[in-house]
Amino acid sequence: MGFLSGRRKRSRLAPELDDQDLGRLLKSLMATTKTGMIATTDLCVAQISRLLEDQDRGDWDRRAHRMGVLADYLTETQLSRAWAAREPRNADALALHAWTQVVRGRRQGSLEDADGVVDLCLRAAETSPDDPTPWVILLAVARLEVWEQSQVFGVWNEVLARDRWNREAYLGMLGYLSPEEAGSRVQVLEFVDSLSLRMPANVPCVATELTAQVHQYHSLMGRGGVEALVARNHWSQPMAVQAVDKVAHTWAQPGFLRHARALADLNVLAYALMAADRRREAAAVFEALGGVVTAWPWQADGDPLTEFEQAHRRAAAGI
């Protein structure tokens, strides 16, 4: 019983979540790059290629998770560029390089070479036509470049044709349709409603509705003044209550969520339950997390590890 026994696992930011093979690769990449050897690039590329090739090619959900984590890790390096240059017909190399450019673009506020990233995505899609990942990355490009909705929905349909419940695609569309990007609150509600009517209970994109509620809560908090002071009332509104109630007693059950980023979704649920002052329910979610922390959504309130640990202690104490 984890935290109840006093032997709670140390909280830690773990981008790989529970993907042990990915975690070992990240540690190996870090150790390899520290050696300063001339062959460092070759060694790193070989390790990355091996991980991506060894997984089930039809497991698009885990492929997207691994690609996304590696893109974050490699953004400040030239590894992905070097790999794509060496193997211009390798879909993994092309997609990973495109994704690193997207991550860099998000951090800088714009893409350095949008046309170049689009070209990488289209070449990867041509090389591996069944793979939704290049289209997922292209959807991220569309958000950064604020493409017209007809173009964005065209990319979205390409993803869904290959992977019906792609988590990255649904969350990407949620962001694009938000008032902070190219849509409105009404469009977000319509999107979530249309999804919830037909979505199975444990598919990879299952957290879309709850994520929308957390985004709305953060938006209220960010406005400051009276709206921020009463933002906690958001969690007593019918749509927010429905979104939490729908998943509060199932997600933490062993084996219920099986997708690659399940622990990321459990972080969202723990955060929402604590914001809604439903601490006893949150305690079970924290136990299921085993100390694995994701930066979002905790970073909205401060240092994510500190916020997570404080929330965990409150949940464990039931106060």
The whole domain housing 305 covers 1-19+200-319
Q: What pLDDT score does 56 carry?
A: 78
User: Residue 191 domain-assigned?
Assistant: no
Q: What is the pTM of this model?
A: 0.94
User: Residue 38 domain-assigned?
Assistant: no
User: Residue 317 domain-assigned?
Assistant: yes
Is-contact 44 83, C-beta < 8 A? no
User: Residue 267 domain-assigned?
Assistant: yes
Q: What pLDDT score does 228 carry?
A: 82
User: Residue 35 domain-assigned?
Assistant: no
Q: Which residues of 278-287 are buried (b: 16+ CB within 10 A; e: fewer)?
A: bbebbbbbbb
- 3-state secondary structure at position 255: coil
pLDDT in tens, the chain (319 residues): 343 334 457 899 999 999 999 999 999 998 887 655 556 888 999 999 999 998 777 899 999 999 999 999 999 899 999 999 999 999 999 999 999 999 999 999 999 999 999 999 999 999 999 999 999 999 999 999 999 999 999 999 999 999 999 999 999 999 999 999 999 999 999 999 999 888 999 999 999 999 999 999 999 999 888 888 889 999 999 999 999 999 999 999 999 999 999 999 999 999 999 999 999 999 999 999 999 999 999 999 899 999 999 999 999 997 5
User: Residue 293 domain-assigned?
Assistant: yes
Provide CB contacts within 8 A for 8, sequence distance 6+: 2, 291, 312, 316
User: Residue 239 domain-assigned?
Assistant: yes
Number of domains in the chain: 1
User: Residue 251 domain-assigned?
Assistant: yes
Q: What pLDDT score does 5 carry?
A: 39
Q: What pLDDT score does 20 carry?
A: 96
CA distance 201 to 259: 12
